[in-house]
Amino acid sequence: MSLNVKETVTAFVLLAVAVYAWVEAGSFAEEARVFPRMIAGAMAVLSLVMLARSFFAGDEDRATRFFKSFPTFLLCLALIFGYIYSTGLLGYFTASAIFIPAFALLLGLRRPVVVVASTVCFIVVVHLVFVEAFDRPLPVEFFLRQ
């Protein structure tokens, strides 16, 4: 058994974020906490899988690293936290319109038509589901605030 320190630390950080998200979702209204808790639960399970892999992977498994680029992973995390922070400042849809193309570019997706179509589809579906169907307000856009 050989320990991969980067994967182990990353797994613990992701597990801590999942636990934090689970606890924070407990303060939401009962019907609103289900989805965030499902995401946090899935994140916790996957981080435990990552943790187990970092402990139990043999030397032959080390040839296929979990991260192609650890700095890119850290940039992705920073972008995600920036997105979370910016939703309150810019509004949900504006922050999403900036985040999705930036994240796609960071991950290496270079086809503009696909990126724009994915962004528009995501924003439309989120609007239809949360605003129209469930009548759940999202953070208001900065240009619509009074």
- Do 102 and 127 reside in the same domain of the chain? yes
HSE at residue 82, side-chain half, CA atoms within 13 A, is: 12
Closest CA to 105 of 70, 66, 76, 63: 76
3 and 39 in a single domain? The answer is yes
> What's the pLDDT score for residue 1?
45
Domain that holds residue 101: 68-146
Specify whether 43 is located in the same domain as 96: no
Mean pLDDT for 95-119 is 92
Instruction: Out of 66, 82, 103, pick the residue that ends a domain.
Output: 66
Q: Are 131 and 77 in a shared domain?
A: yes
Instruction: Say yes or no: 78 and 61 in one domain.
Output: no
The pLDDT of residue 68: 77
Report how many domains make up the chain: 2
d(CA 50, CA 73): 14
Cα-Cα-Cα-Cα torsion 13, 17, 23, 27, nearest 10 degrees, comes to 160
Q: What is the pTM (predicted TM-score) of this model?
A: 0.61
Q: pLDDT by residue (tens digit) across 20-43? A: 999 988 888 887 788 888 899 999
* Same domain membership, residue 133 and residue 77: yes
Chosen domain end from 66, 93, 108 = 66
- Length, in residues, of the chain: 146
Contact, 100 vs 122, CB < 8 A? yes
For a pLDDT cut of 70, what percent of the chain falls above it?
A: 90
Within 8 A by CB and 6+ apart from 76, the residues are 103, 106, 107
- Taking the C-alpha atoms of residue 22 and residue 51, their distance in angstroms, rounded to an integer, is 19
| Pairwise CA distance, residues 30 & 112, whole Å | 39
**Do residue 81 and residue 140 come from a single domain?**
yes
- In this structure, the answer to whether residues 58 and 77 fall within a common structural domain is no
Whether residues 74 and 131 fall in one domain:
yes
Domain final residue pick, 66, 89, 110: 66
Q: Would you list the DSSP string of 113-137?
A: HHHHHHHHHHHHHHIIIIIIIS---
Report d(CA 27, CA 107) in Å as an integer: 33
- Residue range 57-86, pLDDT digits in tens: 765 555 556 667 888 888 999 999 999 899
The top-scoring range by mean pLDDT among 49-53, 111-115, 135-139 is 111-115
Say if residue 47 is in the same domain as residue 79.
Answer: no
pLDDT: is 114 or 58 the higher one?
Answer: 114
